[in-house]
Amino acid sequence: MDARATVERACRAISPVLARVLVEQNARLAPSPARDANLAALASGAAAVVTGQQVGLFLGPLYTIYKAASAVVTARALAEQSGMPVVPVFWLQTEDHDVVEIASCNVPHGTTYQRIGVLVDADSRVSIAHLALPDSVERCLDQLVDLLGEGDDAATHLARLRRHYVAGARWADAFAGVLAELFAPEGLVVIDPRHPAIAEMVAPIHERALDDAEAISAALRARSDELAAAGRPAQVHVRPGSPLAFFHPDGAAGRRVRLDPAPGGFGEVGSETGGSGPAANTAARVHAREELKAALARDPMSFSTSALLRPIVQDTLLPTAAYVGGPAEIAYLAQLPPVYRAFGVTPCVAVPRAKFRVVDHRTKKLLSRVQLHAGELERPEAELVCRRPGVDVQARLLAPFLVAHAELAAELGDGDAAIVKALDKTKDTVAYAIGKLAENVARAAAYADAERVDAIRRLQAWLAPGGAPQERVLALAGVAARLGDRPLVERVLAAIVPFDGGALRELA
């Protein structure tokens, strides 16, 4: 990558309106001279490295930290290599309405992991920006106290969470508050796109999405076909003729519905499933294109972006030199060239986020005891438990049988074909039965070692909960209780290799 060309291509001052909004939004966060300097730099023409994430409970999965840290390190590297200012920015995905996806998190607890979550309305379809944390968040914090123990690192992290995750606080504010504290020294800038002034700036994009819905959709579907032919299935399904914008028929804080082509315009998809307001409990309503554009003009907040439109908004508002994303995001960015062309926006560089597996001292000791490597813990428990010497049932039973069977087969080899067939069938049946017996004996012997079984279960709960990568399942809280939250951030920042986020690395 030519860092200077990448940064030069992106550099431009953000609009005064956006600069004002960013200062306003970030002023609510923990004080940070570095963040203040970055905000001033954006207003003066610095480039940006952007990443983003849903605003999950207690920061959501562990990879949220890796994303933010990757943006910081990428911005530093581009600044150093280009000699020009580059600012890390975290885009809060507050337009999303999938509150169930963000309402819980997982914390390791002994030989398993515990899911904790707040009570939410699964059918609300209201953008997360307009939702407040329910009273049950206090119960979740109390659960964390029990799960994390009484160590100093656990207490520090819990105090940080309690400052922000308060019943009645906005989901976005709680998430941004914790994230900004953890990355205050690095000056990570946070942006919440669900803001009236930003909505006005984005309205022309939504208007184009409505006007050119059919052409954009057709180009996207053609691109998806190209990717599929190359063995790269599209990550985001494209519906024929549908605009890439969501509509809020009852206003900004109302339900968010998809728009699909229908006779006379576009029909609401989702408004017939309940809720409140005039869109509730009715058949899907149809709106003429001009009617939707009039609604957009009256209230720009009545529209919000889809996954495929959000990058266009992001790169229109911000001087984005690079976007840091996870594997799925990087894959769906490959779908977007026709959308960028349709909106006349230049795509930025896509940078994979860093990937880590935290293997602390306690974990290393357990791995050594059971003679396993961290990467093996994603395999089934029974396979790992039984991977040890035991009684060789096969040798003691099958080997003598095979010798006797071979002798008998030699004697009867010229006999009746039915006898030969029966001999072969008997050999297969006995071998199968002895094999199953050997498996059961090995399993029983292995599981009799309760200490080994317990160690493997603890390791799986930490390294591969539910058989999935640690970073995708566990929340920050469990790791922070062992290593400290800000110390973990510092270790992650130090371990990231710029522009080499695809490889999974172990973090001690």
Average pLDDT (104-127) is: 93
39: confidence class by pLDDT, cuts 50, 70, 90: very high
**The two structure tokens encoding residue 441:** 């004996």
Instruction: Determine the distance from the C-alpha atom of residue 411 to the mean position of all C-alpha atoms in its chain, rounded to a whole number.
Output: 66
Residue 448 pLDDT: 62
352: confidence class by pLDDT, cuts 50, 70, 90: very high
Q: Of 152-166, 257-271, 463-477, where does mean pLDDT reach its minimum?
A: 257-271
Q: Calculate the average pLDDT of the chain.
A: 91
Query: Do 83 and 4 contact (CB within 8 A), yes or no?
Result: yes
Residues 493-507: tens digit of each pLDDT: 999 999 987 789 999
Query: Do 459 and 360 contact (CB within 8 A), yes or no?
Result: no
Which of 91, 70, 1, 77 has its CA nearest to residue 315?
91
Residue 283 pLDDT: 53
Task: Of 246-260, 271-285, 395-409, 420-434, give the range with the top mean pLDDT.
Answer: 246-260
Residue 444 pLDDT: 66
Residue 282 pLDDT: 45
CA distances from 448 to 196, 388, 444, 456 (A): 63, 12, 6, 13
Q: Is the pLDDT of residue 281 over 60?
A: no
Residue 278 pLDDT: 41
275: confidence class by pLDDT, cuts 50, 70, 90: very low
Residues 24-36: tens digit of each pLDDT: 999 999 999 999 9
CA distances from 53 to 191, 366, 486 (A): 11, 33, 19
Query: Do 330 and 339 contact (CB within 8 A), yes or no?
Result: no
Task: Of 28-32, 381-385, 434-438, give the range with the top mean pLDDT.
Answer: 28-32
Instruction: Determine the distance from the C-alpha atom of residue 317 to the mean position of all C-alpha atoms in its chain, rounded to a whole number.
Output: 24
What is the C-alpha to C-alpha distance for residues 67 and 62, in angstroms, rounded to an integer?
9
Which of 197, 108, 187 has its CA nearest to residue 154?
108
415: confidence class by pLDDT, cuts 50, 70, 90: low
Residues 207-218: tens digit of each pLDDT: 999 999 999 999
What is the C-alpha to C-alpha distance for residues 318 and 314, in angstroms, rounded to an integer?
6
Average pLDDT (380-384) is: 85
Q: Is the pLDDT of residue 307 over 70?
A: yes
Residues 480-489: tens digit of each pLDDT: 999 999 999 9
Average pLDDT (280-300) is: 85
**The two structure tokens encoding residue 491:** 């270790």
Phi, psi for residue 109 in degrees, rounded to 5:
-150, 100
Q: Of 28-32, 254-258, 272-276, where does mean pLDDT reach its minimum?
A: 272-276
H-type alpha helices, 212-309: 213-229, 289-298
Domain ranges of the chain: 3-194+485-507, 198-311, 361-468
Instruction: Determine the distance from the C-alpha atom of residue 477 to the mean position of all C-alpha atoms in its chain, rounded to a whole number.
Output: 16
The residues that bridge with 352 in the sheet, in sequence order, are 325
Which residue in this structure is represented by tokens 């409505």?
A: 210
Q: Is the pLDDT of residue 348 over 90?
A: yes
Average pLDDT (150-162) is: 96
508: confidence class by pLDDT, cuts 50, 70, 90: confident
Residue 451 pLDDT: 87
Looking only at the bridges linking them, the beta strands covering 245-247 and 303-305 are: antiparallel
Residue 387 pLDDT: 66
Average pLDDT (220-249) is: 91
First and final C-alpha spacing in the chain: 30
The H or E element spanning position 366 is helix 361-370
H-type alpha helices, 299-349: 310-317, 327-333, 337-343
Residue 163 pLDDT: 97
Amino acid at position 119, single letter: L
**Long-range contacts made by residues 440-449, C-beta under 8 angstroms, separation at least 24?**
441/390, 441/391, 441/393, 442/386, 442/390, 442/391, 442/393, 443/382, 443/385, 443/386, 445/390, 445/391, 446/385, 446/386, 446/388, 446/390, 447/385
331: confidence class by pLDDT, cuts 50, 70, 90: confident
**Per-residue three-class SS string for 164-198:** HCCCCCEHHHHHHHHHHHHCCCCCCEEECCCCHHH
Residue 277 pLDDT: 41
pTM of the model: 0.87
Phi, psi for residue 86 in degrees, rounded to 5:
-140, 135
**Per-residue three-class SS string for 386-440:** CCCCCCCHHHHHHHHHHHHHHHHHHHHCCCCHHHHHHHHHHHHHHHHHHHHHHHH
411: confidence class by pLDDT, cuts 50, 70, 90: confident
